Amino acid sequence: MAGDAALFVRRFVQHPWQVGAVAPSSTTLARQVIAPVPRTGDPVVVELGPGTGSFTAAIQRRLDGRGYHLAVEIDEEFAAVVRRRHPGVDVVVDDAARLPELLAARGIAAADVVVSGLPWAALSPPRAAGVLSAVASAMSADGAFTTFAYVHALWTPPARRLRRTLGCTFEEVVPGRTVWANLPAALVYHARRPQRVTTVARPA
């Protein structure tokens, strides 16, 4: 949507390190990112950094009224957009690092699936490791986590650090194929089974 693109650019100019992208993710990338959301049952699905809701819409379509969908967005303006468009989603303006407290406050023991749109490359190494560790501690033992990285930046220290930190945090991490139908091209990391104890990856 043109309005979403304009809002994204404006928020990026105002808070580049927080938004971390100049455009919302494509529907093709969204399909890959939300792949672990189960097609049956009542899963607890958490979305981190929904922005204007590219992944939110895909998750809501997949859930079709089942389960529980919590979206944690630090930017009030993005949160207001998602809340207005998706009344079935519990949208909270907060820091993803507080996921354990946010779930506890709702009487929820653990998330089955966590889908992340967070701008990892824009976070300092301790901050990124801290957020990931907090998220992992809020997941069920066989929980699934997905996040994405831009392909042109995979060689950079923040991207390599993310890959290593994911490896320290989850028992299994599988990179997906390059999604060319996204600006810029991206790939999705599919992680499973949080290990609970995170080691902060050292710079390459």
Ligand X SMILES: C[S@@+](CC[C@H](N)C(=O)[O-])C[C@H]1O[C@@H](n2cnc3c(N)ncnc32)[C@H](O)[C@@H]1O
**Contact residues: ligand X, CB under 6 A:** 18-21, 24-25, 48-51, 54-55, 72-75, 78, 95-96, 117-119
Closest separation between CB of residue 17 and ligand X, Å? 9
**C-beta of residue 128 within 8 angstroms of C-beta of residue 165:** yes
**Among residues 130 and 193, whose Cβ is nearest to ligand X?**
130
Partner residues linked to 91 by β-bridges: 71
* Closer Cβ to ligand X, 119 or 143, answer by number: 119
Q: Closer CB to ligand X, residue 50 or residue 194? A: 50
Q: What is the DSSP pairing of strand 111-116 with strand 170-175?
A: unpaired
CB of 24 to ligand X, least distance (A): 4
Exposure string over 96-132, b if 16+ CB within 10 A, otherwise e: bbbbbebbeeeeeeebbbbbbbbbbbbbebeebbebb
> Which residue's CB is nearer to ligand X, number 42 or number 101?
101
Q: What minimum distance in Å lies between the beta carbon of 51 and ligand X?
A: 3
- In angstroms, the CA 169 to CA 159 distance is 15
In the complex, the smallest distance separating the C-beta of residue 97 from ligand X, rounded to whole angstroms, is: 6
**φ and ψ at residue 12, rounded to 5 degrees:** -65, -45
- Closest contact distance (angstroms) between CB of 96 and ligand X is 4
Nearer to ligand X, 117 or 194 (CB): 117
Strands 90-93 and 111-116: unpaired
